[in-house]
Amino acid sequence: MKITMPASCILNPVPVVMVSCAGLNPKKVGQAPNICTIAWAGTVNSQPPMVSISVRKSRHSHQLICDTQEFVINLVTEKLVKACDYCGVRSGADEDKFSACKLHAVEAPGMKYAPAIEEAPVSICCKLKDIVELGSHDMFLAEVVNICVDEKLIDENGKICLEDAKLVSYSHGQYFGLGKLLGFFGYSVASKQALKRRMPAKNTKPKTSKSPKKRNKK
């Protein structure tokens, strides 16, 4: 039995990201590098690669992004989750969030103004293409121009192993670490060989210890 409830933003879980940006004159008051926590972010196109973030007009980062037409999406790990939350409840108009969270702003390839967060495992450099006014939020549509990935996450074959990054998701007001592997795209029709290669843990039967034989008492 299901209960009908009023319409709301209930789509969960979603990725939680830290969006870094800066003003046209980063050395000027109010335009220094800033971090904005966003839970409404997503992929919208593959060729060219495009993403979206939804930001309230009242957020300090909103104007910075509008001015420079660029921003960087930084993925969040379990180690960064406290800083991520802090950046979502404090305003960059009042303080330097990089300093407050002991994070470092570094140059992002292809960006003239927006920095990347050095401590993030993946930084996605984005150029603004369009702004869609929706109501409470404006949706920023952007093209991905470069991606920076921690070399520790790249295996010998050049594959990005995000499963090793300990990324965080956001669900109904709470942060969660990603859980165990349940499958991969196409696993429902994959061969046994593919399943064994890509999901070895799910195809390994746990060893059962033999119970000791009972001795007969004489």
Q: What is the reported pLDDT for 48?
A: 97
Most distant CA atoms of the chain, gap in Å: 92
Q: What is the reported pLDDT for 217?
A: 47
90 to 30, 84, 87, 109: CA distances (angstroms): 14, 10, 5, 27
For 60, residues 6+ apart whose C-beta sits below 8 A from its C-beta are 30, 34, 36, 91, 92, 93
| Backbone Cα Rg of the chain | 22
Tell whether the model's pLDDT for residue 81 goes beyond 50: yes
Per-residue model confidence as pLDDT tens digits over 1-42: 999 999 999 999 999 999 999 999 988 989 999 999 999 999
Q: What is the reported pLDDT for 202?
A: 59
Q: What is the reported pLDDT for 203?
A: 53
End-to-end CA distance of the chain: 61
Mean pLDDT of the chain: 92
Q: What is the reported pLDDT for 103?
A: 98
Q: Whole-model pTM?
A: 0.89
Residue of 175, 149, 170, 168 whose CA lies nearest to 160: 149
Tell whether the model's pLDDT for residue 131 goes beyond 70: yes
Average the pLDDT over 91-105 and give the result. 96
Q: What is the reported pLDDT for 181?
A: 85
Domain(s) labelled CATH 2.30.110.10 in the chain stretch across 14-177
Q: What is the reported pLDDT for 211?
A: 47
CATH homologous superfamily, domain 14-177: Electron Transport, Fmn-binding Protein; Chain A (2.30.110.10)
Per-residue model confidence as pLDDT tens digits over 156-212: 999 999 999 999 999 999 999 998 888 999 999 999 999 998 887 655 444 444 444
Q: What is the reported pLDDT for 198?
A: 87
Per-residue model confidence as pLDDT tens digits over 54-76: 999 999 999 999 999 999 999 99
Q: What is the reported pLDDT for 212?
A: 47
